[in-house]
């Protein structure tokens, strides 16, 4: 046994006992973007025994400014974020078990992910997935930690089923478009600030230091120098559809599932085929090559463009990203014209 | 009317209620949670809660990025 964790063990509220607890815990991180890679690195270094990281996207150059586990190589080869993150985490700590999943976290996927999880960490970039996480958390009685940021603004809150208000209590209605698909950009320090708030609470939860939990909604604007910690306990609603007395988890209802989504600030539409199954990339490559155009491939995905405007990226899990449009109908037309 | 909004002094032209203030600050429809003079408000109170000169308002709004 080396002294990898010695400084953390010296920290009294954690100690040997807390360190042992960490090594027995399983944390699921949903999203491997800025928040996901930040959370994953800290928790891997801290010695959380099992980390699962799930993401639907691949690494691009515009990610490198703030997504701390990725390298230029990852961007060059369009590595799936989850895979690139796992490979880096394995270099950082080979004592723990890291699992990567290249998928879009829908209801089924999240249910499976949550099966053996002690904690869910939100590192997504949209409200739809967060509301799914919120309902899964309530259904399975697993805590989750909300985190989000845009521009120089960030916020975080820990949701404990049966104790705190849930995200539905706090939001009531899903915020409209502009808030998620902001074009305001993002600076890395605010990512780190959100990550710090998420992981500090995660360490407390995972080591049983629940009396030290913050219990407040924190928000900060790091450019305008404003910091706030708000007690929102009074906003817990007895009639909340997600956490109230007659909770029915509305976001887990198949009726409410979207098969297509416009990705945040990306000029990209994602299509999830309704039938499950692995896509045969070799076969696809063969059929697309007859059409002309440019095909690039790695073991996880295939990128195809017939003209300058649009590019389609086919993942093994069946999903397709259509870059160069925000129009779902246009995206579907293109998809069906190629895939049938 | 002068308010202290998120720690900064702010001159308000039109808004007379919390809901109108959120519109003026372009924070309407963003699930904003509001504290008025350190008292947290339920969203159902935003429309009826009137502002007075010198009020201290703290606002947390939700964003989707990450
Ligand atoms: Zn609730």
Tens of pLDDT, residues B7-64: 999 999 889 999 999 999 989 888 999 999 999 999 999 999 999 999 999 999 999 8
Q: A161 CA distance to ligand 1 centroid (A)? A: 9
Which secondary structure element, helix H or strand E, spans residue A86, and what is its range?
A: helix A81-92
Instruction: Please say whether the beta carbons of A265 and A33 come within 8 A.
Output: no
Q: Are A87 and A71 in contact (CB under 8 A)?
A: no
Q: What was the pLDDT predicted at A172?
A: 87
pLDDT of the residue at A1: 57
Q: How far apart are CA A117 and CA A137, in angstroms?
A: 10
Instruction: Judge: A230–B42 Cβ closer than 8 Å, yes or no.
Output: no
> Measuring CA to CA, how many Å separate A213 from each of A26, A158, A195, A253, B15?
19, 9, 15, 32, 37
In sequence order, what are the residues at sequence separation of 6 or more whose Cβ sits closer than 8 angstroms to the Cβ of residue A62? Answer: none
Would the CB atoms of A171 and B65 count as touching at under 8 Å? no
- In 3-state terms chain B splits into helix, strand, coil percentages (rounded to 5) of 15, 30, 55
Residue A94 exposed, middle or buried by CB count within 10 Å (0-12, 13-18, 19+): exposed
| A36 chain-B contacts, CB cut-off 8 A | 66
Beta-sheet pairing, A97-102 with A50-55: parallel
Cβ separation of A147 and B66 shorter than 8 Å?
yes
**Dihedral sign, CA of A238, A239, A243, A245?**
positive
Whole-number Å distance between alpha carbons of A316 and A276: 11
The single residue listed with the structure tokens 């891997």 is A44
Let me know: does B6 contact B57? Beta carbons within 8 Å.
Answer: yes
Expressed in angstroms, the distance from the first to the final Cα of chain A is 57
Q: Which pLDDT score, from 0 to 100, does residue A257 have?
A: 66
Inter-chain residue contact B60 with A176, CB threshold 8 Å: no
CA atoms within 13 A on the CB side of A50: 11
- The single-letter DSSP state of residue A293 is S
Q: In this structure, are residues A245 and A169 in contact, taking their beta carbons and an 8 Å threshold?
A: no
Interface confidence (ipTM) of the complex: 0.94
* Chain Cα centroid distance, residue A164: 22
pLDDT of residue A154: 96
Give the whole-angstrom CA distance, residue B66 versus residue B62. 12
Separation CA A197–CA A207 (nearest Å): 16
Tokens found for residue A91: 């270099």
**CA-CA distance, B5 to B28, in Å (whole number)?**
15
- Residue B8, classed as helix, strand or coil, is strand
CA dist A251 and A136 (Å) reads 9
Q: Tell me the nearest-neighbour CA distance from B49 into chain A, angstroms.
A: 17
- What pLDDT, on the 0 to 100 scale, is given for residue A179? 45
CB contact under 8 A, B60 and A219: yes
pLDDT digits (tens, 9 = 90+) for A67-84: 999 999 999 999 999 999
- How large is the C-alpha radius of gyration of chain A? 20
Nearest-by-Cβ selection for A148 from B7, B33, B66: B66
Other CB atoms within a 10 A radius of the CB of residue B2 amount to: 11
In chain A, which residues have their Cβ closer than 8 Å to the Cβ of B60? 155, 217, 219, 228, 230
The C-alpha of B9 sits at a distance from chain A's nearest C-alpha, in angstroms, of: 13
Give the model's pLDDT for residue A277: 74
pLDDT at position A180? 43
Quick one: tokens of A49? 């025994």
Is A325 an 8 Å CB contact of chain B?
A: no
Strand partners, A268: A323
Answer whether A38 touches B (CB < 8 Å). no
- The pLDDT assigned to A292 comes to 84
Taking the C-alpha atoms of residue A108 and residue A90, their distance in angstroms, rounded to an integer, is 27
Q: Looking at residue A337, what is its pLDDT? A: 77
Residues of chain A falling short of pLDDT 50? 179-182
Classify strands A226-230 and A217-221 as parallel, antiparallel or unpaired.
antiparallel
Smallest Cβ–Cβ distance between A235 and the set B42, B64, B65 belongs to B42
- Output the CA A139–ligand 1 centroid distance in Å: 12
């Amino acid at each position: 046994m080396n002294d990898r964790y010695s400084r953390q063990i010296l920290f009294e509220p954690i100690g040997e006992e807390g360190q042992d607890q960490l090594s027995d815990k399983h944390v699921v991180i949903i999203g491997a973007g800025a928040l996901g890679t930040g959370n994953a690195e800290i928790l891997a270094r801290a010695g959380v025994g099992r980390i699962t990281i799930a993401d639907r996207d691949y690494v691009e150059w515009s990610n490198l400014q703030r997504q701390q586990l990725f390298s230029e190589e990852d961007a060059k080869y369009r590595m799936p974020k989850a895979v690139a993150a796992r490979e880096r985490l394995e270099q950082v700590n080979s004592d723990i078990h890291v699992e990567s999943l290249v998928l879009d976290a829908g209801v089924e996927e999240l249910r499976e992910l949550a099966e053996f999880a002690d904690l869910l960490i939100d590192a997504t970039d949209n409200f739809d997935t967060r509301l799914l996480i919120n309902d899964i958390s309530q259904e399975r009685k697993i805590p989750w930690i909300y985190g989000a940021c845009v521009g120089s603004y960030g916020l975080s809150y820990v949701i404990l089923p049966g104790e705190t208000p849930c995200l539905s209590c706090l939001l009531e209605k899903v915020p409209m478009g502009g808030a998620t698909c902001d074009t305001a950009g993002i600076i890395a320090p605010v990512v780190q600030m959100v990550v710090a708030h998420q992981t500090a609470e995660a360490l407390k939860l995972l080591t049983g230091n629940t009396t030290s939990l913050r219990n407040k909604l924190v928000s900060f604007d790091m450019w305008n120098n404003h910091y706030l910690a708000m007690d929102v306990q009074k906003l817990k609603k007895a009639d909340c559809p997600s956490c109230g007395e007659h909770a029915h988890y509305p976001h887990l209802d198949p009726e409410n599932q979207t098969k297509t989504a416009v990705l945040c600030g990306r000029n990209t539409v994602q299509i999830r085929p309704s039938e499950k199954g692995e896509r045969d990339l070799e076969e696809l490559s063969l059929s697309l090559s007859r059409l002309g155009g440019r095909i690039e491939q790695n073991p996880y995905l295939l990128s195809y463009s017939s003209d300058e405007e649009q590019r389609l990226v086919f993942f093994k899990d069946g999903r397709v990203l259509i870059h160069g449009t925000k129009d779902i109908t246009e995206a579907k037309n293109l998809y069906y014209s190629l895939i049938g | 009317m002068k308010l202290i909004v998120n720690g900064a002094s702010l001159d308000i032209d039109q808004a007379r209620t919390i809901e109108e203030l959120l519109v003026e600050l372009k924070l309407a429809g963003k699930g904003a949670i509001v504290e008025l003079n350190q008292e947290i408000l339920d969203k159902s109170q935003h429309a009826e809660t009137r502002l007075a000169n010198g009020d201290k308002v703290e606002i947390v709004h939700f964003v989707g990025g990450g």
